[in-house]
């Protein structure tokens, strides 16, 4: 599988499409989902060209992997939904059966209310 440079998140990373930014550093970008499924629905993406978690873990540097993981907790703190507050749900869709629509690795962060059943 090859990375599609024209996917919507690649366009956001290149600044061709706007986003409502939550956080950014050299390795990650976090922004609000355009179609929120919960009171808080934020995405966290690596800046590198990775299709999904499997592709990322196989090809990314240790630094990229560490920074991506750390960014998720950092964003949860910025949103005031970390484990010390109300908590949140982290979700990543992978491939066809996973229901992934955008072929650039992303974690969904859901919070701000009870998230409910684990899978529907």
In the complex, the residues that contact ligand AMP under the rule CB under 6 A are 8, 17, 19, 33-35, 93, 99-102
42 close to 33: Cβ distance less than 8 angstroms = yes
CB of 70 to ligand AMP, least distance (A): 21
Place of tokens 């939550």: 22
CB of 39 or CB of 63, closer to ligand AMP: 39
- Beta bridge mates, 76: none
CB of 89 to ligand AMP, least distance (A): 13
Catalytic residue check, 41: no
Catalytic-role residue among 55, 74, 104, 106: 106
Q: What is the DSSP code string of 47-103?
A: SS---SHHHHHHHS-HHHHHHHHHHHHHHHHHTT-STTTT-EEEE---HHHHT--SS
CB of 24 or CB of 33, closer to ligand AMP: 33
CB of 19 or CB of 60, closer to ligand AMP: 19
Q: Which residues are catalytic?
A: 106
């Amino acid at each position: 599988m090859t990375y599609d440079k024209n996917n919507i998140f690649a366009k956001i990373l290149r600044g061709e499409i706007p986003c409502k930014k939550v956080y950014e550093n050299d390795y990650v970008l976090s922004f609000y989902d355009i179609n929120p499924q919960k009171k808080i629905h934020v995405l966290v993406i690596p800046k590198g060209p990775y299709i999904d978690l499997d592709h990322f873990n196989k090809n990314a540097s240790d630094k990229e992997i560490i920074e991506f993981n750390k960014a998720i907790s950092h964003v949860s703190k910025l949103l005031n939904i970390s484990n010390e507050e109300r908590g949140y749900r982290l979700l990543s869709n992978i491939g066809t059966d996973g229901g992934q629509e955008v072929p650039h690795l992303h974690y969904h962060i859901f919070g701000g209310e009870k998230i409910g059943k684990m899978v529907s």
